[in-house]
Amino acid sequence: MFTNPPARPIVHQFPCLKDNYGFLLHDPSTGETACIDTPDPAVILGEASKLGWRITQIWNTHWHPDHAGGNAAIREATGCVIYGPRGEEDRIRSLDTCVEEGDVIRLGDVTARVLDTPGHTAGHVVYIVDAANLAFVGDTLFALGCGRLFEGTPAQMWTSLQKLRSLPGETLIYCAHEYTAANAAFALSVDPDNAELQAYASEIREQRSLGRPTVPTRLDREKNTNPFLRADDRRLQATAGQPGDEVGTFAEIRERKNRF
Ligand code: ZN
Ligand code: FE
């Protein structure tokens, strides 16, 4: 008896609001579709209907309105089930099922693993589809950047980013915002001699001048170029004036980015 392996999930990505991305994750074998965060319900519902996909789930990464603000409208239109961070249950009133690290979500034949990544918000979670090397990281990790520390400490965010850094290098990182060009300018300011970063930054300028997205990015590339994934790098520690101190280096670089 021979069984076909489940078809790989399809990701459909499209711009929302000023600089957010919307993502629909579709399981071709069962037709189930998850919407990762809900920045703009009208746009998201329109994209789903263009593709003939019915949204059956929402996966929230955190409570900010550009991530969970469209939950009610999308549930109203589709009857979907909403998953989101246990730590933000009181802030996202529309959650049906709370998730936290160790939980696994099923979308038809697709499974996603939840990681807790506090720092940007206190309860932020990310969703990892290991079988397809996909990571939906919300506002924790950006191409050449990371989220602002609104509710967490530098130590928490550095721990969260190290969890993401330990995923396989080929992992596609689906960040929630197109912030890459500004992030590249900052990254070059703290790591000007990094040849791989220089090449990446010029590619980004080229892509953006053509109006193309720089998301998703690949983790292996980020590991070599994103200053927020490299607080244990000796050269960056020296630049930050924090030799031997990963958290101190991370905190200093994050602080410099806030002022950049
Ligand atoms: Zn946010
Ligand atoms: Fe956001």
How close is the Cα of 148 to the center of ligand 2, in Å? Answer: 10
User: Which CA distances in Å does 253 have to 119, 147, 151, 232, 244?
Assistant: 15, 12, 17, 12, 14
- Angle, nearest 10°, between helix axes 154-165 and 246-259? 100
Mean of all residue pLDDT scores within the chain: 97
Amino acid at 119: G
Which is catalytic among the residues 27, 116, 120, 191?
Answer: 120
Mapped to the 3 state alphabet, what secondary structure does 101-163 carry? CCCEEEECCEEEEEEECCCCCCCCEEEEEHHHCEEEEECCEECCEECCCCCCCHHHHHHHHHH
Between the CA of 251 and the centroid of ligand 2 the distance, in Å, is 20
In the residue annotation, 62 being an active-site residue is answered as yes
Compute the distance from residue 92 Cα to the ligand 1 centre, in Å. Answer: 13
What is the spatial distance between Cα 168 and Cα 123, in angstroms, rounded to a whole number? Answer: 24
Ligand nearest to the CA of 175: 2
Q: Is 12 a catalytic residue?
A: no
pLDDT of residue 2: 64
Distance in angstroms (rounded) separating the CA atoms of residues 145 and 117: 15
Report whether 95 contacts 82 (CB < 8 A): yes
Instruction: Specify the CATH superfamily of domain 10-259.
Output: Ribonuclease Z/Hydroxyacylglutathione hydrolase-like (3.60.15.10)
Whether the predicted model's global pTM rises above the 0.95 cut: yes
In the chain, where are the structural domains located?
A: 10-259
Residue 223: per-residue pLDDT: 98
Asked about 245 being catalytic, the answer comes back as no
Q: What is the mean predicted confidence (pLDDT) over 230-245?
A: 98
Q: Which two tokens stand for residue 145?
A: 């950047």
Let me know: does 163 contact 125? Beta carbons within 8 Å: no
Residues 6 or more apart in contact with residue 5 via CB below 8 angstroms: none
pLDDT at 10: 98
**Among residues 26, 27, 37, 64, which one is catalytic?**
64
Calpha distance 253→22 (Å, rounded): 29
Q: What percent of the chain has pLDDT over 70?
A: 97
26 has catalytic annotation: no
The number of the ligand nearest the C-alpha atom of 177 reads 2
State yes or no: is 90 an active-site residue: no
Q: How far is the CA of 60 from the centre of ligand 2 (A)?
A: 11
- Residue 6: which pLDDT band, with cuts at 50, 70 and 90? low
Q: How far is the CA of 245 from the centre of ligand 1 (A)?
A: 27
Choosing from 27, 40, 66, 116, which is the catalytic residue?
66
Residue of 27, 37, 40, 62 with catalytic role: 62
- What percentage of residues in the chain have a pLDDT greater than 90? 97
Q: Give the Cα separation of 58 and 127 in Å (integer).
A: 12
Residue pair 82/96 in contact by the 8 Å Cβ criterion: yes
Residues 6 or more apart whose Cβ sits within 8 Å of residue 197: 144, 184, 187, 188, 191, 224, 225
Residue 1, pLDDT score: 57
Question: Which residues are in the CB-under-5-Å shell of ion ligand 1?
Answer: 64, 139
Q: Is 66 a catalytic residue?
A: yes
Q: How far does residue 39's CA lie from ligand 2's centre (Å)?
A: 8
Question: At 177, is the secondary structure helix, strand, or coil?
Answer: strand
Q: Which of 43, 52, 51 is nearest to 20 (CA)?
A: 43
